[in-house]
Amino acid sequence: MVSQRLAPFGTSVFAEMTALANEKGAINLSQGFPDFDGPDAIFEAAQKAMRVGENQYPRSRGHVSLVRAVAESRERLYGLAFDPLTEVVVFSGATEGICSSMLGLLNPGDEVVLFEPAYDSYGPCAAMAGATARYVTLRFPDFAFDESALRAAVTPRTRLIVLNTPHNPTGKVFTREELSTIARVAQEHDLVVLADEVYEHLVFDAAVHVPIATLPGMRERTLTLSSTGKTFSLTGWKVGWGCGPKHLVDAAQAAHQFVTYATATPLQVAMAFALREFRGPYLEKFRAEYLERRDFLVSALRDAGFVVAVPKGTYFVLADFSALHPGDDMAFARWLVTEHGVAAIPPGSFYAADRTEPRRLARFAFCKRMETLKRAAERLRKVRA
Ligand code: PMP
Ligand code: GLN
């Protein structure tokens, strides 16, 4: 019964692997959600909002307190000025942002350039908009791309480049030089960039998150998406946003008004509070804690016999398991969860053009308590044996 557009995509690998992890009683390092809660003060802000009557439909483009807090945070962090009332739109998570933006910006027959591995919803959302995806493959372990591969993916039908930095699932943080290449191609071909920056605060070592909208000439052609789910460890609240020039925000809004119309009112009010109150010191601690988790998981995977691409950003790590198992990514992920009680994501559904690339890779999430990661490390140690 599933429509022709969606039939090729099957069930989300995240739902599938979390269900399998629960069924097997495994430690779940598959789907990216923290096994700890966000700050109490944000819960109190949501409860207070409910008690003072913030319970009916909000403004479709976003509660005024939240669009203001988003605009203020963009200005403070990146020096990007957006008019909160016309250049910001609140979505029910970046997931809805991706979908509404593509539905609002694309015409049937248009083409979209994706870097693969590509977050699993990009391809299906392009398909829902009647567009076709073309891919530039980022290869393990350095995930570099060259300009000629990007240029080869652009045709006269291309309308959009989707850029995800920091990048799920590779942990790549696009450098200023790489972003300049993308910006040059976008400007030469008059393309829009849909920049998915949900991991904007999760960068490590010397890596710096550079929003592509800050590059010369790019503010006018970039719609930037982000989300509060990762930053405040509240992925189930599903509060995200898009920022960009009015003509791009209006396009996304044209779809958003009919997709969800709006996002839960008290949660928007609480997230406005979070953006205002949880700034520098909170974000520094957040990054430091994730750095400790990253380093721990990377060494646990190496000790177990994986070859690891150390992530510069996000809370994921891609690891090559070929020294440990002869099968493909799906066979390995099933074996690991069944025989060793650790769930990981087989990254096959992030790849469409080069199906051989993911066959030896598994994605592990480190958005978990150190105690959980230590238990996982004990189990992983037995994999080599
Ligand atoms: N984009 C990327 C790259 C992601 O990893 C995720 C989710 N984890 C999303 C978008 C979706 O964000 P949200 O949970 O806010 O819908
Ligand atoms: N973004 C999360 C991940 O990559 C999952 C989000 C979802 O389940 N849709 O694991």
Could you report the per-residue pLDDT of 134-155, keeping only the tens digit for each? 999 999 999 999 999 999 999 9
pLDDT higher than threshold 80 for residue 292: yes
Mean pLDDT, range 208-214, rounded to an integer? 98
**Distance between Cα 191 and ligand 2 center (Å):** 27
Domain residue limits at 81: 40-277
Do 161 and 298 share a domain, yes or no?
A: no
pLDDT higher than threshold 90 for residue 130: yes
Indicate which ligand has the atom closest to the C-alpha of 12.
2
- Residue at a domain's end among 231, 251, 277: 277
Q: In terms of Cα–Cα distance, which of 377, 307, 311 is closest to 342?
A: 377
The pLDDT assigned to 29 comes to 98
**Distance between Cα 30 and ligand 1 center (Å):** 14
Do 182 and 311 share a domain, yes or no?
A: no
Asked if residue 18 has its Cβ within 6 Å of ligand 2, the reply is: no
pLDDT higher than threshold 90 for residue 359: yes
What's the rounded Cα separation, in Å, for the pair 163 and 145? 13
Ligand 1 nearest-atom number relative to CA 96: 16
Asked if residue 94 has its Cβ within 6 Å of ligand 1, the reply is: yes
Q: CA-CA distances (angstroms) from residue 161 to 36, 79, 114, 308?
A: 34, 23, 6, 28
Ligand 1 nearest-atom number relative to CA 32: 8
Mean pLDDT, range 370-385, rounded to an integer? 94
Task: For residue 2, tell me if it sits in a domain.
Answer: no
Per-residue pLDDT of 297-307, as tens digits, reads: 999 999 999 99
Mutate to test the pocket of ligand 1, among 198, 235, 318 (most ligand atoms within 8 A of CB): 198
pTM: 0.97
| Per-residue confidence band for 310, with pLDDT thresholds at 50, 70 and 90 | very high
Residue type, 155: T
Do 167 and 306 share a domain, yes or no?
A: no
Do 140 and 173 share a domain, yes or no?
A: yes
Task: For residue 14, tell me if it sits in a domain.
Answer: yes
**Distance between Cα 32 and ligand 2 center (Å):** 5
Ligand 1 nearest-atom number relative to CA 314: 5
Q: In DSSP terms, which residues pair with 133 in a beta bridge?
A: 112
Q: For residue 218, which phi and psi values (nearest 5 degrees)?
A: -95, -20
| Per-residue confidence band for 384, with pLDDT thresholds at 50, 70 and 90 | confident
Q: For residue 150, which phi and psi values (nearest 5 degrees)?
A: -65, -45
Mean pLDDT, range 270-274, rounded to an integer? 98
Asked if residue 32 has its Cβ within 6 Å of ligand 2, the reply is: yes
The pLDDT assigned to 385 comes to 72
Q: In terms of Cα–Cα distance, which of 240, 251, 186, 241 is closest to 215?
A: 186
Per-residue pLDDT of 165-204, as tens digits, reads: 999 999 999 999 999 999 999 999 999 999 999 999 999 9
Task: For residue 1, tell me if it sits in a domain.
Answer: no
